[in-house]
Structure 1
């Protein structure tokens, strides 16, 4: 009878996963600082990146060092923000956002992941038209009409553009510039989002199934595992969502 992974083995795996998350967050803070100013009170993007890092239990010292790098110290000034567009299996549209200090390495890694898993790298603008950049706050409502109504009222009062109820969730949508104000208003209303951020939201979703679905999951995992990749947006309708 085989033995499962040891406690030490599990801890090492968890530590490695945590380190990878921290690497991505540090790069995000660095680039956000470089794109604006080092003061989060005057840099909404930096403020959001720091909030995300704190939610992941990153220490203030680590955050401060990342901000310092983004200000030009410690080699942080040469970090770049890049976006790649392409397709996965079954024509699933992909937008792959990256932070990197070596674009040649990054595009090679992204292209390799795509071509090995039923996809291909496209040109700039080839899939972006299928997405809309917006603020999105997602709440788990599980079909609770009272909860959906409370979220709708609070969202409209906060100046949100729309609320979409689907797959057991309520998604509050707003213009990117209004995201922070809408988020704070919903927090003040006692509502806690399971996910919140400025995202590339697909205008329509494409259902994936069978072998294509399995390959898509592998591809998304491979892209997420790349240190330079910060976020992957796609327009796939996954089985759990389709079953709703």
Structure 2
């Protein structure tokens, strides 16, 4: 995989997120509101809310903001009427893209998503057109230098499906969504802190893009992530570092 570094891709993604902290907070607040509305205000009995709460802490969001979002969700107050919508499409080189949104205006959102695809060399597909290329799962990523043996022992005992290490020493743990909380808590109990921990749509296979295709694909992903209604963007494209 010449020029491709999973670690570089992860750090690049985190850097883009950190650079858009205000936008990140907005996304987390929406997620907290919807999670509280769907499963109640107690993060200990609402795994989705617990995950959103953890993201809020990681983003240094004030607790008052978190509590307001929970109250809004539980009370059904103004602003909690978001619908969750998933769009699927294609980018450069036939790469698959999934766009998860929360919106109070479906017409606006689909127009914005379609425009981002068409302006950047992609196209919006039908529902189900690419989702089968991904697996809904929990994912933990550990930095090079982390003890592979320790991560593997703890994660597998807690219900993880797989633990892999790439040539750079990046450790990835994959688990069923239902086991995410158990694996997260077991790792934390042993002082194992992942660089990334989330419930994701993980591509079953990756498509490598290089040169102009990689540059254009990154522009498409950036355009989608910049949309106000977009919560997450997933792709099976891996951009060459040269791109």
TM-score (norm 1): 0.87
- Matches for 1:190-209 after TM superposition, within 5 Å: 190-209=191-210
Match in the other structure for 1:6: none
**How far apart, CA to CA, are the structure 1 residues paired with 2:224 and 2:205?**
22
1:47 matches 2:50:
yes
- Structure 2: runs of 5+ lacking an equivalent: 1-16
Give the deviation of 1:231 after TM superposition. 0.5
Instruction: For residues 180-201 of structure 1, give each alpha carbon's deviation from its aligned partner in whole angstroms, at most 9, with x where no partner exists.
Output: 1011111112211000011100
Shift of residue 31, structure 1, vs aligned partner:
1.2
Larger radius of gyration: 1
Name the residue aligned to 2:153: 153
CA offsets, 1:123-157, max 9 Å, x none? 1110000000111111112xx5x822222222222
99-108 or 149-158: which moved more? Answer: 149-158
> Do structure 1's residue 221 and structure 2's residue 222 form an aligned pair?
yes
Structure 1 CA distance for aligned equivalents of residues 70 and 84 of structure 2? 16
The answer as to 2:120 corresponding to 1:117 is yes
Matches within 5 A, 1:146-185: 147-166=147-166, 168=168, 169-185=170-186
Alpha-carbon offset, residue 18 of structure 1? 2.3
State the Cα deviation string for residues 2-40 of structure 1 (Å, max 9, x = none). Answer: xxxxxxxxxxxx999322111111111111112211222
Once the two structures are TM-superposed, the CA of residue 167 in structure 1 deviates from its matched residue by 5.1
Task: Identify if the C-alpha distance between structure 1 residues 130 and 117 changes in structure 2 by more than 3 Å, giving closer, same or farther.
Answer: same
- What's the secondary structure of 1:31's corresponding residue? helix
Query: Equivalents in 2 of 1:170, 1:223: separation in Å?
Result: 28
- C-alpha distance in 1 between matches for 2:51 and 2:18: 24
Structure 1: runs of 5 or more not aligned: 1-13
TM-score of the superposition, structure 2-length normalised?
0.87
- State the match for 1:89 in structure 2: 92
- C-alpha RMSD of the superposition: 1.9
CA shift, 1:120, in A, is 0.6
Cα-to-partner distance string for 1:208-240 (whole Å, 9 max, x where unaligned): 112111111111111111111111010012224
SS at match of 1:41: coil
Residues 31 and 52 of structure 2 are in contact (CA less than 8 Å); yes or no, is this contact kept in structure 1?
A: yes
Between 1:65-74 and 1:87-96, the stretch displaced more is 65-74
**CA distance, structure 2, for counterparts of residue 81 and residue 43 of structure 1:** 18
CA distance in 2, matches of 1:105, 1:72: 26
- Alignment length (residue pairs): 225
Q: Counterpart of 2:234?
A: 233
Aligned partner (choices 26, 30, 38) of residue 29 of structure 2: 26
Distance 1:32 1:135, change over 3 A: same
